[in-house]
Copies of this chain bind each other. A is one copy, B any other.
Amino acid sequence: MNIVSERKYYDSRIKKIFTLKNNHKTSNLIILKDENIYYLTGFYGKDSGSILLIVDNDIHLLVNFIYLEQARKSAKNKNLNITCYKKNKFRELAKILEDYSFSSVGVEGKNISLTGFRKLEKLLSANSKRLVNIDGLVENLRIVKDEFEISKIKNACKITDKVFGSIINSGASAINKLSEIELACRIEQLMVKSNSEGRSFDTIVAYGKNSSMPHYSPQKIKEKGGLILMDFGCKFENYCSDMTRTIFTRNQKICNEFKKIYDIVLKAQLLAVENCREGVACGQLDRIARKFITSKGYGHNFRHRLGHGVGIEVHEEPAVTMENRTVLRENMVITIEPGIYIENFGGVRIEDMVIVGKNGCEVLYNSKKSFFILD
């Protein structure tokens, strides 16, 4: 896509922000989260401490001078003032704001530390400006994806499918030669070779009993045969994928022990996919899967939310938790990933990404989900 048609997307997002901010207590915004800045400008300075200012009808991007070249090359908006700072970004920010006469400005409370807030508050109060919390303003805009984003996400998922296929095709004996950490590394290498920008988060590979810890970090441990849980994803043009499959190798006895819980997780997953559509609340969807797992006696072992939004961040809005009343809308992208975890035995999780549609959802993966023992 050329720069002109890309610009269209960024400019239309900024336009939406201009509309939204008028519904808030303030019409001036300080955007601090790197992903929100990327969404609105095309400049992605991960951990760069950049600031996007939307005030009156002006847009200012404030970056550390290390990032100036990157910002100039990647920010796409038509009317954007790029300023760089050397040391104190909040002081520089206050200086820019001096030229404006408004009295209050919004800041993202979840994306600023208490210490940062106190500093900024002091600087702005000297100029009679007050900070108000505008948590979630950009995140709520990012929750529904446009076609530009969906095409990137689909590419990321396609690559993820392909990599899972390659791992499976390499066969059980090749996999069993690798430690957890080596298999994780192999997956990440295949993602890079398949034209992605690499992992979207640290790959989880858990063998056997280790799989009972949902947020496990792979170790230098090998497994002679049994359960292998793989949770991984890649980035394609800054958009993420996220998939989990639990597979089994060799040791027939161990594998059969897991078959029962595998089938419960799979049924819960399919049930949630079936019920995922515009108009259903996130909490409702979570409860559908949870109720099923609970009815089979494993409610206590489903120890996390059903899913989460995916986009520029691998975990973003909406959180598909029991309590979340957010109603699903067309073109939201979420994961559906129930799991059952039994301490000192192991865990099974099956995760797909889906695009919410008017009358159902589109599953973004083709990778096999039914129980099988790999030869």
Interface residues of A (CB under 8 A from B): 45-46, 48, 65-67, 69-70, 87, 107, 109-118, 133, 135, 181-182, 184-185, 188-189, 192-193, 195, 197-198, 212-217, 219-220, 303-304, 323, 343
Contact = CB atoms under 8 A, between A and B. Distances in A.
A110 B119 CA distance: 11
Contacts of A118: 109, 133
Given A182-B192, A189-B189, A215-B67, A111 B113 contact: yes
A213 B182 CA distance: 31
B114 A69 contact: no
- Which of A46, A112, A213, A323 has the most CB atoms of chain B within a 10 A radius of its CB? A213
Contact of A215 (B45, B181, B304): B45
A343 B110 CA distance: 35
Contact of A304 (B66, B112, B343): B66
Contacts of A67: 213, 215
A107 B133 CA distance: 21
A303 to B, nearest CB: 5
A65 to B, nearest CB: 6
Contacts of A115: 109-110, 133, 135
Contacts of A323: 87
A222 to B, nearest CB: 13
Contact of A109 (B45, B113, B182): B113
A220 B117 CA distance: 39
A311 to B, nearest CB: 18
Nearest to A136: B115
A173 to B, nearest CB: 19
Nearest to A343: B69
A69 to B, nearest CB: 5
Contacts of A70: 213, 215-216
A122 to B, nearest CB: 13
A107 to B, nearest CB: 8
A240 B342 CA distance: 32
- Which of A181, A192, A219 has the most CB atoms of chain B within a 10 A radius of its CB? A192
Contacts of A303: 65-66
A307 B64 CA distance: 16
A6 B370 CA distance: 44
Contacts of A193: 182, 185
Contacts of A107: 114
Given A45-B215, A48-B215, A185-B189, A114 B87 contact: no
26 contacts: A48-B215, A67-B215, A69-B212, A69-B343, A70-B215, A70-B216, A109-B113, A109-B114, A109-B115, A110-B116, A111-B113, A112-B113, A112-B114, A113-B113, A114-B114, A115-B133, A181-B192, A181-B197, A181-B198, A184-B198, A185-B188, A185-B189, A185-B198, A195-B220, A197-B219, A197-B220
